Structure 1
Amino acid sequence: MPIDTPSPPAPPADPKTSPQEEGRVAVLDRPEADTPWITLVWNDPVNLMNYVTWVFQTHFGYTRSKAETLMMDVHTKGRAVVSTGSREKMEADTEAMHGYGLWATFQKDD
């Protein structure tokens, strides 16, 4: 009686061939990598408007005008989106805002 031997694994796909050309569907390992994330700074009763403007200029490199616009959004609307990017970058920006004493969170952008 012959012994069944498993067939050898298929050779790796040619890196020049896309998965669609081979009839396969590509699946992202990290779907959140495609989704933009945002850092929000929230209004608080502690920090002065001049200080918040200075933080935005210092940390993000915004012009005074841009920093003041964002600060006024925080003051009048209760929050402002101060940066967008990868999850890791938004985590770092949120931590930086905490380091300056500002209330900040990050989330997926809708």
Structure 2
Amino acid sequence: MLTPKYPPQDTAPPPAPVVPQTGAVTPTAPTPAPVAHASTRPTVQLTPGSALALAAGGGAVVLVVGAVLVSLLLAVAITGVSVAVVAVVLRGMLNEMRKGR
């Protein structure tokens, strides 16, 4: 049931052995090198001003993302502290109720 199924063996005949010829070798003309096709995409050339603007934009993105992450971390920390304070107050109230004060 879980045995692997192998494809059937290839039925092609084995390749014929290559026999080197012992005759005069006639020189052939070399084949030309392939020519690269011209790209249809527009090229982007960065000038010093555009490179500076790109770096400034990247820095601004990093600062904004960092500020958002720090504010989220601060919100989580404040929420954790407030939950801990509520837990301490409830624990104190429950202890007073159990003692019957």
The TM-score with structure 1 as length reference comes to 0.23
Greater helix fraction, Structure 1 or Structure 2: 2
TM-score w.r.t. the length of structure 2 is 0.24
Which structure features the higher share of strand residues?
1
